[in-house]
């Protein structure tokens, strides 16, 4: 079983959804971002989505873009990301890299897969890479035994839900709303519908929901029907506000309580 699937399954056995937290490497600097990731792990997150800074983050909203712009300008690159991967693995959570495709292609997809596996990474989430274009990554991740997480969206057809889930390993990233990343007051009903549709297309892979989750109450709502809850912009906002490791620890405690409140759907 893959690193991510194993952890999500363990959470399920505890009667809860998994908590996956996103932070980009390099905001406010590499060391501080890694320290924040470790703090999140210590406070109870199951996996860290380790963001590779990118100059043109097309699916991200203003909060994440503001932070990654700083990292891009500072020249943060894959070696820094791999350092974060090792730190998260050492702290006891599952590290999964989140990267737009070009930084991986530029680094070299085979080299990326080998180095990620060597650093203890579980795999990668690729928001602008669809399975149709992913032959190189699918081969490399198979070779290194890495998870590969593709996204589904409310606009995905049933056929694409199936083919995307079939190409995924670890979990499927269920993008809860049509739109960019960023905290929302309400997590759309579309999330529940999409989880149900994806589960019907492919019953045996974990489904984690992201886009818009910012607090424990929302996490509890999602945990009622999803296998995992992904929180990104809310963490980045804490970092942008300068609340650092203490801030992300407090947010994690709220979210970790949330994913335990709802219990797990049948």
Residues with catalytic annotation?
Answer: 49, 60
Give me the residue label for tokens 């994440």.
64
Q: Which residues contact 108 (CB under 8 A, 6 or more apart)?
A: none
Determine which residue in the list 35, 91, 114, 130 makes contact with other proteins, applying CB under 8 A: 130
Residue placing its CB nearer to other proteins in the complex, 18 or 129: 129
Residue placing its CB nearer to other proteins in the complex, 93 or 230: 230
Q: Which residues contact 265 (CB under 8 A, 6 or more apart)?
A: 224, 225, 226
Give me the residue label for tokens 């709502």.
221
Provide the mask over 135-174, with x wherever binding to other proteins is found by CB under 8 A and - wherever it is not: ---------------xxxxxxxx--x---x----------
Among 25, 35, 107, which residue's Cα sits nearest to residue 72?
25
Question: CB of 218 within 8 A of CB of 182?
Answer: no
Stretch binding other proteins (CB under 8 A), from 69-77, 116-124, 138-146, 230-238: 69-77
Q: Does 251 bind other proteins (CB under 8 A)?
A: no
How far is CA 87 from its chain centroid? 17
Determine which residue in the list 67, 87, 98, 129 makes contact with other proteins, applying CB under 8 A: 129
Residue placing its CB nearer to other proteins in the complex, 55 or 143: 55
Determine which residue in the list 179, 244, 249, 261 makes contact with other proteins, applying CB under 8 A: 179
Residue placing its CB nearer to other proteins in the complex, 6 or 132: 132
Residue 92 DSSP code: T
Determine which residue in the list 9, 35, 42, 59 makes contact with other proteins, applying CB under 8 A: 59
- Give 9: exposed, middle or buried? Use CB within 10 Å, 0-12, 13-18, 19+: middle
Site for other proteins in 191-250 (CB under 8 A): none
Question: CB of 5 within 8 A of CB of 171?
Answer: yes
Distance, CA of 193 to CA of 191 (rounded, Å): 5
Structure tokens at 76: 């943060």
Question: CB of 140 within 8 A of CB of 109?
Answer: yes
Q: Which residues contact 125 (CB under 8 A, 6 or more apart)?
A: 49, 96, 97, 98, 99, 149, 151, 173
Stretch binding other proteins (CB under 8 A), from 27-35, 54-62, 222-230, 246-254: 54-62
Provide the mask over 79-118, with x wherever binding to other proteins is found by CB under 8 A and - wherever it is not: ----------------------xxxxxxx-----------
Whole-number minimum distance, CB 84 to other proteins, in Å?
A: 15
Size of the site for other proteins (CB under 8 A): 43
Residue placing its CB nearer to other proteins in the complex, 14 or 56: 56
Total residues found in the chain within this entry: 266
Distance, CA of 193 to CA of 187 (rounded, Å): 12
Q: Return residues touching other proteins (CB under 8 A).
A: 53-59, 61-62, 65, 69, 72, 75-78, 101-107, 127-130, 132-133, 150-157, 160, 164, 175, 178-180
């Amino acid at each position: 079983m893959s690193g991510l699937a194993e952890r999500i399954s363990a959470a399920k056995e505890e009667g809860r959804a998994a908590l996956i937290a996103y932070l980009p490497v390099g905001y406010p600097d590499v060391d501080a971002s890694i320290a924040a990731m470790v703090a999140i792990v210590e406070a109870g997150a199951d996996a860290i989505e380790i963001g590779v800074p990118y100059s043109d983050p097309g699916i991200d909203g203003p909060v994440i873009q503001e932070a990654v712009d700083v990292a891009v300008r500072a020249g943060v690159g894959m070696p820094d990301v791999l350092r974060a991967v090792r730190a998260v693995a050492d702290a006891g959570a599952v590290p999964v890299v989140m990267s737009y495709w070009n930084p991986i292609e530029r680094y070299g997809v085979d080299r990326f897969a080998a180095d990620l596996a060597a650093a203890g990474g579980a795999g990668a989430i690729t928001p602008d890479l669809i399975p149709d274009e992913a032959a190189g990554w699918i081969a490399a991740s198979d070779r290194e035994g890495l998870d590969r997480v593709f996204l589904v969206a409310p606009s995905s057809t049933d056929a694409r839900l199936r083919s995307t889930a079939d190409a995924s390993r670890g979990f499927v990233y269920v993008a809860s709303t049509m739109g960019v990343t960023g905290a929302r007051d309400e997590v759309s009903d579309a999330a529940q519908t999409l989880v149900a549709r994806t589960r019907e297309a492919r019953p045996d892979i974990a489904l984690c929901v992201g886009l818009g989750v910012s607090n424990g109450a929302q996490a509890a709502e999602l945990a009622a029907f999803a296998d995992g809850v992904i929180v990104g912009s809310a963490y980045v906002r804490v970092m942008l506000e300068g609340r650092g490791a203490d801030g992300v620890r407090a947010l994690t405690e709220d979210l970790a309580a949330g994913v335990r409140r709802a219990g797990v759907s049948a």
